[in-house]
Amino acid sequence: MAILPIRVVPDPVLRQKAKRVKAVDGSIKKLIADMIETMHAAPGRVGLAAPQVGVSWRVVVIGIPEEKDIVLINPEIVRRKGERMVTEGCLSVPGYFGVVKRAESVRAKGRDVRGREIKIKANELLAQALEHEIDHLNGMLYTDHLESQGELYKIEPEITQL
């Protein structure tokens, strides 16, 4: 396993639509293992999408503190409910955070490493992480959701990084 360097804006890989994974082969399994290690390499990181390590495949990992890590291949949000304003930061936009509108709860689905379908009902931080990481696969950043581009703030250490 290896800790991978994080791509930061304006790296074009962050703006590409990532490709669907057709087969979970050895290279995808290694990517997932490296992404999990990279996510846990610094405190406050709760999620990572493959484009953030320069790989344009539809793979995300989520590690909510005190909970089991989640690996999702070809994930999709299938339903969003409610709205709330949340504080958000991103490893690929270092040094800043912003306030964005996210769903109160989401349902997502995807595949696990063995190709089995996973369905997740999520709220709070997990819902936010799912929306944030799946946005990455579509070439979107949380800064795209800011009401105005000036609304970015210098980071405070306790802000969660997605």
Length of the chain: 162
Q: Which positions from 75 through 94 interact with Zn ion, judged by CB under 5 A?
A: 90
**158 a catalytic residue:** no
Q: Residues touching Zn ion: how many (CB under 5 A)?
A: 2
Nearer to Zn ion, 25 or 76 (CB): 76
**Least distance in angstroms from the C-beta of 14 to Zn ion:** 9
Binding of Zn ion by 70 (CB under 5 A): no
Nearer to Zn ion, 61 or 162 (CB): 162
Q: Kindly report whether the peptide bond that precedes residue 10 is cis, defined as omega within 30 degrees of 0.
A: yes
Nearer to Zn ion, 73 or 134 (CB): 134
Distances (CA, A) of 99 to 18, 86, 107, 159: 25, 5, 22, 11
Site map (CB under 5 A) of Zn ion, residues 27-66, x = contact? ----------------------------------------
Secondary structure of residue 119 in the 3-state scheme: strand
**Least distance in angstroms from the C-beta of 115 to Zn ion:** 26
Q: Where are the beta strands (DSSP E) in 15-156?
A: 47-49, 59-62, 70-81, 84-89, 96-102, 105-111, 117-123, 152-154
Asked if 159 and 128 touch (Cβ cutoff 8 Å), the reply is no
> Which entry of 66, 83, 124, 133 is annotated as an active-site residue?
133
Instruction: Give the footprint of Zn ion on this chain (CB under 5 A).
Output: 90, 162
Residues annotated catalytic, as ranges: 133
